[in-house]
Amino acid sequence: MNYWKERNAPYKPGQKTPYKVSRSKIELFMQCPRCFWLDVRLKIKRPSSPPFNINKAIDELFKKEFDTYRKKGEQHPLMKDNNLDGILPYQHADLDKWRENFVGVVHLHEPTNLHVFGAVDDVWVDKDGKIIVVDYKATAKDKPVTSLGPEGSWQDMYRRQMEIYQWLLKQNGFDVSDTGYFVYATGTQDREGFNNVVEFETHVFPHHGSSNWVEGVLKDMKKVMDSDDMPEVGVAAMGGPCEYCEYAKSRTKLTLAALKK
């Protein structure tokens, strides 16, 4: 059976078929093991947020731009403007597959039997042949984003996202740089009116990280998946209790109190 083509059924402890976990599922575990357990064991998912369609459109336009220069073997102007000497858009036969949602870069982690995957935005290459993970981001703020927030902030999820992609490519035998880049477009809010135009200011900045943590987290995830005991409500990776669990707990208390009456 081609398990990678099928949607995940609820995880069963001891199952022989590899279980697919996306980059976002790893992030879910990092944020709240209880929410992760409910998702993989019982298919009880967190309430979904509205789709970020504007961000998705900007991602697609960035990809088209960089692909134009990829075909010509030239630097994108943003690379030149940011003095990224010797760095070019990477050309590889599997790039489109690496970018495809629900496919992405894939690795079967044998110690846990987890099929790990994640879809990258882009890949560059430096003059030494090391490949570079690139992530596109878009937002709207009073000032353009020129760097991520301090460690311990909610933007740590962006750091982890990039490092998981780096880990996946390393597992596929690529020489991957520990330095990745964010291409961050900020919509300006200081114009006199909309007039059917939102202007963006784009900055490119590096993230120097390490993917060494991924292996240990996958093993911790597997232990939680194999347990029949739902994890306690813990502290989210970004600090503070999980807001979803806190909401569920508060609502349950109110419901039980109402039923007693």
Whichever domain contains 57, its CATH number is 3.90.320
Alpha helices, H only, the chain? 23-31, 33-42, 53-72, 77-81, 95-99, 156-171, 213-226, 243-260
Tally Cβ neighbours within 10 Å of residue 198: 12
| Total domains, the chain | 1
* Confidence band, pLDDT 50/70/90 cuts, at residue 241: confident
- Comparing CA positions, the residue from 28, 17, 16 lying closest to residue 220 is 28
Instruction: Give one word for 195, left, alpha or beta, with left for phi > 0 and alpha for psi -120 to 50.
Output: left
Q: How many residues does the chain have?
A: 261
- Per-residue confidence (pLDDT) for residue 3, from 0 to 100: 53
- Residue-wise pLDDT tens digits, 211-227: 999 999 999 999 999 99
- Per-residue confidence (pLDDT) for residue 52, from 0 to 100: 84
Angstrom distances, CA of residue 257 to CA of 70, 116, 233, 251: 62, 43, 21, 10
- Per-residue confidence (pLDDT) for residue 1, from 0 to 100: 43
- Per-residue confidence (pLDDT) for residue 238, from 0 to 100: 53
| Mean pLDDT of the residues in the chain | 92
Range of the domain at 255: 3-260
Which pairing describes strands 131-140 and 105-109: parallel, antiparallel, or unpaired? unpaired
pTM of the model: 0.92
Chain center to CA of 229:
27
Average pLDDT for 159-163:
97
- Residue-wise pLDDT tens digits, 26-49: 999 999 999 999 999 999 999 988
* Residue 176 identity (one-letter amino acid): V
- Indicate if the pLDDT at residue 103 is higher than 50: yes
